[in-house]
Amino acid sequence: MIQDLHQQHHLSRRSLLKSTLVTAGGMAVANWGALFHSQTIAAEAKRSGKRCIMLYMEGGVSQIDTFDMKPGRPTGGPFRPIKTNVDGIQICEYLPKMARHADKLAIIRSMRTKSVDHGIGGYHMHTCYPSSEKFPHPEIGAMIAKYCENPQSDLPSFVKLGPAGCNAGSGYLGPQYEPFVLGTDGKLPGFANPSAPPAVQDRRAELLKSFEERYAKQRPAEPFASHREAELRTIRLMRARKAFDVADEWTKARERYGNTPFGRGCFTAVKLAEAGVPFIEVGHDGYDSHNDNFPVHKANLSVLDPAWSSLLQDLQDRGMLKDTLVVWTSEFGRTPAINGQGGRDHFGRAWTVVLAGGGIKGGQVYGASDRDGFEVAEKMVDEGAYFATIYKTLGINHRAKHYLGSRPIWATPEGSKPIEELLA
Amino acid sequence: MNTHARSNLLTALGLLTAAFVLVGGCTSAAGGTLSATIDREIKAGWSKEKITPPGRSSDAVFLRRIYIDLVGMIPGYEETTTFLADTDPEKRAKLIDRLLVDPRYGRQQAQVFDLAMLTRDHKLVDGTVGHRTRGRFREWLAKQFAGNEPYDRIAAKILQAEEDGSQLYFAVYANTDEMAAAVSRFFLGTQIQCAKCHNHPFETWTQKDYHGMAGFFARTVSVEAPGKPEVTNQKGKQYLVGEKEFGDAFFPLEEIDPKTKKKKTIPIKPKFLSGDELKEPEPPKDYVEAKLKPNELPPKPAFSRRQKFVEWMIGKDNPFFAKAAANRVWAQFMGRGFVHPVDDFISSSTPSHPGLLKAMETELVAHHFDLKWLIREIVNSHAYQAADLGDAKDAMPKFYERAPVRPLNVEELTASLHIAMGLGVEAALKVEPNQQMLQYLGKPTDGQGRFQGSLTEHLFFHNGDGFRGMCKPGKGNLAEQLLTGTEDWGKKVERMFLSVLSRPPAGEEREQFVQYLGADGKDPKLAAQRIEDAMWVLVSSSEFRFNK
């Protein structure tokens, strides 16, 4: 028996040597599966196709002061519309850079959603289901991570940056798809920074690896494999930390994106998408303008406009836009009526979201609100249709079936259908 | 005797014991008739399915398994070495008896039931908010299990929610629908919630059944009332449960009410699941429901529908309760129920071992829902004591051809970490999993109970203080003892393995760890780092992460 163990030892040593490579610094690291190599990853990402970047306006963004203007109407407010690079589409004067990208945008002006407070709205617009069900629905990011992830990638498949509009996480899809949450500035959480020097990390990782291999030999059960696999991914992630460090490039990019946390978040999102992360959510908060709606939105749009437009431009320049869906959304819109404090309140009856890029037919407005913006006038879009459309463009079956215990549950509720006119 | 020879001897003794028991077939000194029935039926399953029967677990594997299952933490170094060296052929049965009267038994059983009933998802009992409330509920449960209160009595008391500390169940499942669904699932092993809106697709339940169940809970109310600091949550409130005199569950009709533009509803009589309507007295005609403040309970009703439900549930002829209980306790120790998931008895599907389930149900009733008896019978069986080796990939093999592999929950992990680091049982009992542990390790499975390794869990293992910090030599912990101790590395490695993994190192492991630990010579700082590394490797391993 001892002999047998020895033989095993030699075997694993040999296979270890075979899969060892030397880093630029000369340090040998074990290659336990996929190797972190940015070019390999970029190639993988290109091959496997789709990704999604979701820009989430936390607090509830005003449709009338952005993409569904009502000039001359009592609800219109002081902002003026401007022309875009698409005939017949006008948007807010404080989105001048975005006006030059209207050919990429599908503007949905007929959103009608049911959950019009922050917690429940954030939940509904992230999971497609009302929180009142008290069911562990996963966020859209977890769903996309599950179906679009590249299992070979060294990076997490669901990344969140900046203010979060929802913390439902991966729900019934399980911890493998939990969001990996970065700081507002895109920095890694503290506990992702190695607590030991690289040499110590490497040597203890090698000790763990041979320990685990020996243990696994007679124990093929899935949980053990899942545990080992997560350990290897974690080590690869810690080695791949550089992918999150955009500091050098940011000094050049911040001029275009605007030197703001949201701008930096958008830039980081492009870099992560390029490195193979299939879903990145970037949050931008401060839209909940019950008071002083107009100054609040004007200030926010000055942050949004350069960041979003540069993100689209960079995706296009890198040839990534056709495979990257960019979603601009919020928990709900804001009332057409202007209240006594010059504010607009929560509103789900007729508001606007914008899709762009991968799989979306740009340069169009879909649906409409009525003259003053109080109701949907045509082509109402509910949560189900909105999610189904997103999933379809990413090649995900919007009726994908999963289980909580024995109870079946679908990615979108029964009857949800993608909006074909929005698809390229 | 050097350590190497000693551990070989230990192994040899373990094998000898295993052989003796297998040949002699006499574990039944402690295990009675049910234990024998279990083994007969499980064996019949193997031959029917043409499965090679598993071997018996080694003493070390059994020791760790039974400790985690019965007292929620791994055995300490002394307990491990004593047990492994013990040559008494009845030592397993004797250990089981000892652990069943250990004070930690009630606590562990309470944790398992609390998590199964309340999950980690509910805001009220999540994390720190209301944590003290949950702690009280667990303490109350622990008292029931430790005193071996019959399970039907425990179930009744949870639903009556009158004892101090027992009220949390209805505070979590606070509306009629949630109550009906939760009670059916946990206590009756039956899912009826889908029948709220449509007749069940795979089951005989109709909307009438659902609303009939809901009727028993329509009058139950849970309020938050001010209380003494030692019994309140962080908002200074305690939960109290009561019942109103009036109130019905409503059944939605297809017809639309022109006024409200919603479906018309009619009140529906409470109806026992797959049984009769409740016969209840007419409510007093001139009774006016008292106007209540939000934090006030109504006066006790003259007639309690909920009490009638409880009486039916634990009644002798209830078709669901005992079966669900037997299946649940079996699954707790064997990984999966005969019916899986445990809360999904469907009349149209057959349990994996119908005869055994029936026997277990009958005996449980005959033993007046004596849980300790049931658990003792299960864990004394060969089936429970099966080896952890084999070809099956499934975490919970359907025919029990290998011991199940389940992740330690965060409470077990926290306590076990303290034991592994040589900090003792008292420290292990005192510490609660912190917010980070709950966040990163609290829910390690997906919607179907399958374990998923996650990046955040491992980043936490690597860099979080919870794990790494504990592996560092300090405060008299094992790492420090090893650093300052004068034994050779071989002895130290042995102690490390026995403390953390409850087994001696295999020859090759010993060699490798000795080499690793001694690589930097005598420099105490470098040695301290290497000891920390080695401890970290052991607690990060899948051998430590799971019970198997």
Among B131-135, B275-279, B513-517, top mean pLDDT goes to: B513-517
**For residues A177-199, average pLDDT:** 83
Query: Quick check: A406 and B546 CB within 8 A?
Result: no
Q: What share of chain B has pLDDT > 90, as a percent?
A: 64
Where do the structural domains in chain B lie, given as residue ranges? Answer: 3-104+323-400, 128-188+191-319, 410-547
Residues B277 and A385: their CA atoms lie apart, in Å, by 43
Output the pLDDT for position B337: 96
Judge whether A51 and A278 are in contact, CB under 8 Å: yes
Output the pLDDT for position A6: 37
Please report which residue ranges of A344-420 form alpha helices under DSSP H.
383-393
Query: Quick check: A218 and B389 CB within 8 A?
Result: yes
> Which band of pLDDT confidence, cut at 50, 70 and 90, is reported for residue B122?
low
Rounded to the nearest 10 degrees, the angle between the axes of helix B176-188 and helix B103-118 is 130
pLDDT tens digits for range A281-305: 999 999 999 999 999 999 999 999 9
Please report which residue ranges of B198-317 form alpha helices under DSSP H.
207-217, 305-313
CA distance A326 to chain B (A): 26
B417: how many CB neighbours lie within 10 A of its CB? 24
Query: Quick check: B506 and A404 CB within 8 A?
Result: no
Q: What share of chain B has pLDDT > 70, as a percent?
A: 91
pLDDT tens digits for range A204-213: 999 999 999 9
Per 3-state DSSP, chain B is made up of helix, strand and coil in percentages (nearest 5) of: 55, 5, 40
List Cβ neighbours of B76 (8 Å cut-off, separation of 6 or more).
Answer: B419, B422, B424, B425, B499
Mean pLDDT, all residues of chain B: 88
Output the pLDDT for position B216: 96
3-state secondary structure (DSSP) of residue A96: helix
Query: Quick check: B533 and A203 CB within 8 A?
Result: yes
> Which band of pLDDT confidence, cut at 50, 70 and 90, is reported for residue B466?
confident
List Cβ neighbours of A42 (8 Å cut-off, separation of 6 or more).
Answer: A274, A275, A276
Lowest mean pLDDT among A279-293, B257-271, B391-405, B504-518: B257-271
Q: Chain-centre distance of CA B256, in angstroms?
A: 46
* Partners of A111 in the β-ladder: A351, A381
Output the pLDDT for position A105: 98
Output the pLDDT for position A413: 96
Among B17-21, B161-165, B418-422, top mean pLDDT goes to: B418-422
> Which band of pLDDT confidence, cut at 50, 70 and 90, is reported for residue A190?
confident
Output the pLDDT for position B16: 42
Q: Which residues in A lie closer than 8 A to residue B493 (C-beta atoms)?
A: none
pLDDT tens digits for range B203-229: 677 888 888 999 999 999 999 888 877
Q: Which residues in B lie closer than 8 A to residue A224 (C-beta atoms)?
A: 405, 542, 546
pLDDT tens digits for range A70-92: 999 999 999 999 999 999 999 99
pLDDT tens digits for range B252-275: 787 888 888 888 888 889 999 988
Q: Which residues in B lie closer than 8 A to residue A149 (C-beta atoms)?
A: none
**For residues B442-465, average pLDDT:** 88
Closest CB to B458 among A203, A230, A406: A230
Please report which residue ranges of B381-477 form alpha helices under DSSP H.
410-420, 424-430, 435-441, 455-463, 470-471
Query: Quick check: A233 and B452 CB within 8 A?
Result: no
What is the sign, positive or negative, of the torsion defined by CA atoms of A306, A311, A316, A321?
Answer: negative
Backbone angles phi, psi at B496, to 5 degrees: -60, -50
Query: Quick check: A200 and B194 CB within 8 A?
Result: no
Asked: is A49-186+246-422 a CATH 3.40.720.10 domain? The reply is yes
> Residues B433, B437, B442, B443: what is their CA dihedral angle, to the nearest 10 degrees?
-170
Backbone angles phi, psi at B280, to 5 degrees: -135, 150
Q: Count CB pairs under 8 A between chains A and B.
A: 175
Lowest mean pLDDT among A13-17, A285-289, B178-182, B485-489: A13-17
Residues A245 and B129: their CA atoms lie apart, in Å, by 36
Judge whether B353 and B42 are in contact, CB under 8 Å: yes
**For residues A177-202, average pLDDT:** 84
Give the chain A residue whose CA is nearest to the CA of B406: A223
Residue A41 has pLDDT above 60, yes or no: no
**For residues A396-400, average pLDDT:** 95
- Is A288 exposed, middle or buried, given 0-12, 13-18 or 19+ CB atoms closer than 10 A? buried
Q: Which residues in A lie closer than 8 A to residue B402 (C-beta atoms)?
A: 221
Q: Which residues in B lie closer than 8 A to residue A228 (C-beta atoms)?
A: 453, 542
**For residues B456-467, average pLDDT:** 86
Residues B180 and B306: their CA atoms lie apart, in Å, by 11
Judge whether B376 and B30 are in contact, CB under 8 Å: yes
Q: Which structure tokens are listed for A133?
A: 């069900």
pLDDT tens digits for range A216-231: 998 999 999 999 989 9
Query: Quick check: B516 and A5 CB within 8 A?
Result: no
CA distance A225 to chain B (A): 9
pLDDT tens digits for range A360-396: 999 999 999 999 999 999 999 999 999 999 999 999 9
Q: Which residues in B lie closer than 8 A to residue A154 (C-beta atoms)?
A: none
Residue B191 has pLDDT above 90, yes or no: no
Q: CA triplet A159, A160, A161: central angle to 5 degrees? A: 125
List Cβ neighbours of B311 (8 Å cut-off, separation of 6 or more).
Answer: none
CA distance A218 to chain B (A): 6
Give the chain A residue whose CA is nearest to the CA of B505: A211
Q: Which structure tokens are listed for A274?
A: 């390029």
Give the chain A residue whose CA is nearest to the CA of B459: A192
Residue A16 has pLDDT above 70, yes or no: no
pLDDT tens digits for range A242-280: 888 888 999 999 999 999 999 999 999 999 999 999 999
